[in-house]
Every structure is written in C-alpha cells, then in structure tokens.
Structure 1
Amino acid sequence: MLVRPALLPELPPSPKALFGREGPLAVEVGFGDGRFTALYAKAHPGRLILGAEVSAGSVQRALRRLRREGIGNVRLYLGEGGFALRNLVPERSILEVIVNFPDPWPKKRHQGRRLLREAFFRRLSTRLAQGGRLLLTTDHEEYFRFALEEAERTGLYRIETAPPPEAHLLTKYALKWREMGRPFFHAVFTKEAEDPHPWPPIRRYPMAHALLRGPLPEALALPQAPIRFPQGVALFLEVAKGERGFYVLTHVEEEDLTQDLLLEVRQSAHGLYAGVSRLGHPLITQGVKEAVKALVGALEGMGLEVVQDHT
C-alpha cells in the first residue's frame, strides 16, 4: 500500500503496475489520518486512489486504518503532492483530485509555499483527463479566494463554488471546526483546456558513486556550506565513523522532493567506494548526484585519486 518511487521500474508507473489493475484514477493531496480516504475508497470501489501526505505519522495512521478496514484500492505516498502528480500518474489520466483543508500558509511571506498557485493549476491540467476536476474544501476564506484567482488566471478551468459535500466535512479537523461554528468553502475546478508546456517526470540515474585509490582517511571533514545546483540544494548534516568506514547523513531538496539519505565511504574489493548507501532506497536524482560529487571532491582534496567516476 505504500509507494516507494525508487523501487518502481519506471516513472510514471501505469495504473496496473501501481494497483494491480486498470481503473479511473483519483488523487488525494494531504490525506491526514486517512479518514476521508477510507470513506472515498469505499464509496468508489472501482476507482484507484493515490494519496500523498508529508507527515510520516499520518501515513502510518492511514495505513493502519486502510488495513483494518480491508481497503485495497488505495496506494499512499509519503511526500509532496506535486511530486506524486508529476511522477506517479500518467499524463491526462486523473479523473479527480481532492484537496481537503490544505495548509493556508497565511503569512504573506510564506504564500509561495501554497499548493494552489497558478503554476500548480497549469501543471495539473497536463495530468487531468479532459473533464477531470479538482475539488477544494477549506475553512480559510482568504486562501479560498486566492485559489480561485490563481486558477482563473490560467484560463484552463471552469470554476464552480457550492457548499462542500458532507463527506468532505468528516475529517478530524473539519469535525472539530464544525463544532466551533467555523464556515467552510468549497470549489470545483473542471479542466476545459490544457497548458501547452510539458511536465516530464523527474530524471532518475543509476547508483551514484566513485571508486578511489588510496587508504581510508582517519577522519572525514566535509564542507558545511550548502551545495547549490540549478534544481535545488544539498547539505552534509553529520558524519559518523563505523567499522567499515564513514557514513554521511545528507539532506537534498529539489522541486517537490526532499530526501534525507546516507552516503558512505568504505573500502571495497575494487578500491575506496564513495557514494550512495542503499539503506532506505533513495531516489537517485540530480541533487543526489551533486552531493556525491561534492563528497568525492572532498576526498580528492585529501589526496585520494579517482579511478572510476559514476557521479
């Protein structure tokens, strides 16, 4: 039930590869504890539902709920909704996207973090089937008006506002806010045209590593400054020494994708290995490659010689 992109043979996977069968696709962005997800899945047993959520605790709670209720037409992804829409569903394949109570990022300086901006609506149009739609429910009126304006600016959607469906008000926080008498806002954005710019899936690479000639260093001092590249930034967080060598906790941020992964420096049968650890099945992206390049560069600065470079 949990989707691990690094283990998929291709991006995006076909619905059959992800769910074991074909069917109309729906995507829920920010499913919380999975309460609405379970209701939606049971109400639409023929649909294939992909959920995206950034909270690991929420994903675990939702997984337990789905297993407890015997629901098999849902797959969950731990990460940003934008990543799931870009990489886990084919073009023009989605019947419905549900966004219930998204983070409104109310401070003006944080509005660039909002999901429902013009760029998102444009990219979403390449993933929705013709006539596919996004359903938004929120208690934040300013964000609601903001989303309407952002979608209207694209000229790609028919926009309708109405009272929210009852099922959308059965989430944990909606029930709490209803008791407090807070108002709710609901809109349906139906695709009528498509943005002409493609939104290709993120590029994946083979395992990034290098082999070097020379002894394992006694200590490994790595630069603390961020490693910047056009698509994002990487940072070495911590270095630990083990029996086989060094392990480097590394943070990588790219568009709609954040990964914390281990790099390692250790002796192998063919030389000193510097590269990605397989622990946690990281997705090998440009950002991961840039982090490995920086690690190898640091080792070269210590006098080691690169004999094979796969970064």
Structure 2
Amino acid sequence: MLVRPALLPSWPPSPEELFGREGPLVLEIGFGDGRFTAELAKAHPDWLILGAEVSAASVHRALRRLRREGIGNVRLYLGEGPFALRNLVPDRGLRRVIVNFPDPWPKKRHQERRLLQESFFRRLSRKLAEGGDLLLTTDHEAYFRFALEEAGRTGLFRVAVAPPPEAHLRTKYALKWKEAGRAFFHAVFTKVAEDETPWPPLRRYEMAHALLEGSLPEALSLEKTPVPVAGGVAVFLEVVRGERGFYVLTHVEEEDLTQDLLLEVRPSARGVYAGVGRFGSPLITEGVKEAVRALVARLASMGLRVVQDHT
C-alpha cells in the first residue's frame, strides 16, 4: 500500500489507521528497491513497517515486489524520511528506525543535507519508544564517524558499534559494494533520554484560495523571484494560459517537504478564483498558503479587489 498523506484523516495517524491493526512500528528510511524491506517483513510478520523513499522509480519497484510476494504489513511513502517521521509516526510510537546506505553527501558544502545530524537525532528521540533504536549500515566511513559524533553530541543515545547483521548486507547497494570489496560499518543508537523540544506535525489546511472582483486579466506575468514562506521558499516557475484561465506551476519548499503544484486564476460563479488547483491533491500547508497570498497580491496590484480571502 502506498501512503497518501493528503488523504489521511489525522496527523500523525495511528498504526490502526495505517495498517488496520496494532503492532510494533518500524520505519525504514531509504528502502531502495524494497528487497530488504520485503525480507524484513517476512521475518517479522507481527511488525508494522513504514518505508520512506524519495525515488518514485524505487517506490514503484518496491510496491510491485511487495504485491508480488503477497506482503501486507508494509506501507510505503514517497518522500523524505524526516517528513514521515514527523507526520506519520506518533510520539514514542517507534520500536526501530533502519537506515541502510544513506546518501553520504561527501562534499563539505553538501554535508548539511546529511540525514543523521544532531537535529535529526534530537527529534528522533521524541518518536522512539523507551529503549527504541536506530540501526545504521553504511560503506562510507567518514559519514559513519560523522553520525556517531552527531548522536553523541545530543547525549540522548547509547551507541554500540558492531559488525552489520547479514540481512543488512543483502540490499541492492550492499551487494554492489561487496563485489567491489568495500568495508561496511554498522552501529545501533539506542534511546536513553528524550529531547524536551516539541516537534508537532506539519499543520494542514482545508483550502487556500481567494475570490476577487474584476475581470480576468489578458496576461499574467509573475517574476521567478523566490517568495519567502514559513521554513522555506516558493517560486512561480511558469504561467500558462488555458481555456479557463491561467495555470501557474509553483515550486514550494518547506521543512522536510517539497511540492510542485498548480495554482489557478480563472472565472467562477462568484468572481475570479485564485488558488490551489485540484491536480495532484497537494498538501495545503502554510507555505502553499503564502504562495497563494503572493499570487493574490499580484492580482490586486493589477486592479482586482479581494472579496473573499481563504488564504
């Protein structure tokens, strides 16, 4: 099953809502083609496994594998692992997190993109149950040492370095690196304390639009200048004139969430509608609302008057 956050009734959902039953909840970040995920699910049929992966092609391959093998205790999410951790996992609800061969971002200027940083470990501590753990396996020694230092800086985890379990060496990348003769590094980070800073789920809204009085403009020009939004940025990438009005391809980046969505400017029964289009069922977040506000402000500068504002 593929998890669609926009369709979930609540954040974070309970295991019952996601899986149809209760059980130990395990999060795998970066499951690749799903071969390890499938093996884990079959070895622990009582576990409820939530997988997060940023590659759509990998999610498709993993989903086909799970269906082919008749595995029912796995749910897949297409997106960033921290987003899944924050919004799809209850506080103290996780038994384990598994991170196999994460992107090491080896260049110094890219290290801020690494997953296993101090801020991640602090937030993870709020999601792990008492005694819960994170298992890391990697072939990149520098990243491995980096993760150990970042976790140690929090004082919230007991760290044990050990040879990787054999099952963790049967992933796609492990098999590739094993043939290349690379060494592997493995550590278990066990929660011993909890960070005090709350980490509430991302706030969602039902709507983001406005109704304006006036005529639909003949042309709509939007600068590609970034629009600051809460925790990120929005950019109007392209404006296209269609039969019903204008479609604005918009890129919105927020903490742990990146969306490309369509905004619309079109006539309606009650005036000119400016807001989020239905295409793709985007999440209506504060960043999306701020992008709509910028669009509405541009229309107001062209002489339209806002009569209803749901931004």
Q: Give the shorter-chain TM-score range.
A: over 0.9
Q: State the 1:89 CA deviation.
A: 0.7
Q: Give the letter for the 1:12 counterpart.
A: P
2:256 — aligned with what? 256
Q: Does 1:25 align with 2:25?
A: yes
The total of aligned residue pairs comes to 311
Corresponding position of 2:287: 287
Helix, strand or coil for the counterpart of 2:116? coil
SS at match of 1:125: helix
Aligned to 1:175: 175
What is the CA distance between 1:113 and its match in structure 2? 0.5
Residue 4 of structure 1 and its aligned partner are, at CA, apart by: 1.1
Indicate the residue corresponding to 1:202 in structure 2.
Answer: 202
The answer for the alignment partner of 1:55 in structure 2 is 55
**Structure 2 matches for 1:154-169, cutoff 5 A?**
154-169=154-169
The offset of 1:229, in angstroms, is: 2.8
**2:36–2:168 Cα contact (<8 Å) kept:** yes
**Cα distance between partner residues in 1 of 2:127 and 2:221:** 45
- In structure 2, how many angstroms separate the alpha carbons of the residues matched to 1:285 and 1:188? 35
Deviations 1:52-107 (A, max 9, x none): 01111111111111111111111111111000000001000100100000000001
Given the two structures, how large is their TM-score scaled by the length of structure 1? 0.99
Flag structure 1 segments of 5+ consecutive residues without an equivalent. none
Question: CA–CA distance in 1 between the matches of 2:254 and 2:57?
Answer: 23
Rounded to whole Å, the distance in 1 between the matches of 2:82 and 2:95 is 16
State the shift of 1:223 in Å.
2.1
Distance 2:286 2:231 in 1: 8
Question: Are the aligned partners of 2:229 and 2:254 in contact in 1 as well (CA < 8 Å)?
Answer: no
Q: Percent identity?
A: 78
CA distance in 2, matches of 1:270, 1:17: 38
**1:192, CA displacement in angstroms?**
0.7
1:240 to partner: Cα distance: 1.1
CA distance in 1, matches of 2:207, 2:64: 33
Q: Distance in 2 between matches of 1:190 and 1:170?
A: 23
- Counterpart of 1:39 in structure 2: which amino acid? E
How far apart, CA to CA, are the structure 2 residues paired with 1:106 and 1:30?
17
Q: Is the CA contact 2:229–2:291 (under 8 Å) kept in the aligned structure 1?
A: no
Letter in 2 for 1:264: E
* 2:145 equivalent in structure 1: 145
Q: Is the 8 A contact 2:2 2:76 kept in 1?
A: yes
The amino acid that maps onto 1:53 is E
2 CA distance for matches of 1:89 and 1:56?
21
Per the TM alignment, residue 180 of structure 1 is displaced from its structure 2 partner at its CA by 1.1
Q: Displacement, 1:12?
A: 0.4
What is the aligned partner in structure 1 of residue 135 from structure 2? 135
Distance 1:137 1:70 in 2: 27
Q: CA separation in 2, counterparts of 1:206 and 1:179? A: 51
Unaligned runs of 5+ in 2: none
Equivalent position amino acid for 1:112 in 2 = E
- Structure 2 CA distance for aligned equivalents of residues 241 and 46 of structure 1: 53
The aligned runs of 1:1-311 (5 Å cut-off) are 1-311=1-311
